[in-house]
Structure 1
Amino acid sequence: MSVIDDRLAERGLVLPQPARPPAGFAFSFDWVKVVGNRVIVSGHSPQGEDGRLIGPFGKVPSEVSLDDATTAARATVLSVLGSVRRAIGDLDRITSWVSVSGMVNADSGYGETTNAINGFSDLVLDLFGPEVGAHARTAVGYAALPLNNAVVVAAELQI
């Protein structure tokens, strides 16, 4: 096992299978694109172990609480890592989390998007440590997100 696999196991965390689109929907893009030592990660949302999208779905905070959005952002790390592992193999190959772009399906005027995406950043730092896990970040609110997900996160990594 790799160091990151050990840390995931210690925390009882399991990476999901590849994302399964809901009925009538197709994913016509690469979840991860490796270009040299750059790993570009498409927007991900929380998935169950079987790969299905599990939400929460709706606007923050009127339909999804900030706590639930933060938990969703944390769970999104697992979705991202599952896709990255399938693309590069060993997660220990990651040398830097360069940037994270967090999107929150937010009510108009909602100003706590940063707090929601902290769930993602905090788990990345916990798993990878400050040397590899520290990253630049954007956390913004949108009027709508794909499939009404509360949180979507994209990233750029270096291997």
Structure 2
Amino acid sequence: MSALDARLAELGITIPEVAAPVAAYVPATVSGQWVFTAGQLPFVDGSLPATGKVGAEVSAERAAELAGTAVLNALAAVKSAIGSLDRVTRIVKVTGFVASDPSFSGQPAVMNGASTLLGDIFGDIGVHSRSAVGVAVLPLDAPVEVELIVEFA
């Protein structure tokens, strides 16, 4: 068992199978030593556990949990592209989209659900730059969507 596998087990986390694309794209693309993921929704067993706007139908706290789920799906896409998460040398960038009620301005706190989880899993190499963007609507009425840029060896 690798150190990363041990850490995932300690956290009680299982990386899911890569989610099937919902349109004409691939889950991740490799270019040189970089993996760029497509936007990943918080699918659990093929369905969204919540839909709607954050700040209206979905609480900020629930959206932060869903951002963590979306980042696990993004890690599944990374794993599918490079074979093993043990090859990750740096989480470079996280871009998070939050389907927001017009009065909601807590997008950074929502995306902390993804960022904190990456730090918990990867430690120092999980510290990254990030954008947290409020949007009117996301595919399938998902509350959040997450993209990663990852460096690997």
Task: Judge same fold: TM > 0.5, yes or no.
Answer: yes
Instruction: Report 1:99-138 matches (<5 A).
Output: 99-130=93-124, 132-138=125-131
Partner of residue 86, structure 1 = 80
Instruction: Report 1:4-153 matches (<5 A).
Output: 4-20=4-20, 26-48=22-44, 50=45, 52-130=46-124, 132-153=125-146
CA contact (8 A) 2:41 2:70 kept: yes
The residue identity in structure 2 corresponding to 1:33 is: T
| Structure 2 length-normalised TM | 0.93
Q: Distance in 2 between matches of 1:38 and 1:92?
A: 14
The residue identity in structure 2 corresponding to 1:16 is: P
Cα root mean square deviation, aligned: 1.3
Q: Distance in 2 between matches of 1:94 and 1:62?
A: 37
Q: What is the CA distance between 1:54 and its match in structure 2?
A: 2.3
Q: What is the CA distance between 1:46 and its match in structure 2?
A: 1.5
Range moving further from structure 2, 80-89 or 120-129: 80-89
Runs of 4+ residues over 3 Å off in structure 1: none
Give 3-state SS (helix, strand or coil) of 1:9's partner: helix
Q: Distance in 2 between matches of 1:92 and 1:154?
A: 19
Q: What is the CA distance between 1:8 and its match in structure 2?
A: 1.3
Q: Distance in 1 between matches of 2:49 and 2:2?
A: 29
Give ranges in structure 1 of 5+ residues lacking alignment: none
CA contact (8 A) 2:55 2:103 kept: no
Deviations 1:36-77, CA, capped at 9 Å, x for gaps: 1011011012222x4x03232100111000110011011112
Q: What is the CA distance between 1:20 and its match in structure 2?
A: 4.0
Q: Distance in 2 between matches of 1:31 and 1:91?
A: 15
The residue identity in structure 1 corresponding to 2:2 is: S
The residue identity in structure 2 corresponding to 1:84 is: V
Query: What is the number of residues matched between the two proteins?
Result: 152
The residue identity in structure 2 corresponding to 1:81 is: L
User: What is the percent sequence identity of the aligned residues?
Assistant: 39
| Structure 1 length-normalised TM | 0.90
Partner of residue 148, structure 2 = 155
Q: Distance in 1 between matches of 2:17 and 2:36?
A: 19
Q: Distance in 2 between matches of 1:134 and 1:123?
A: 10
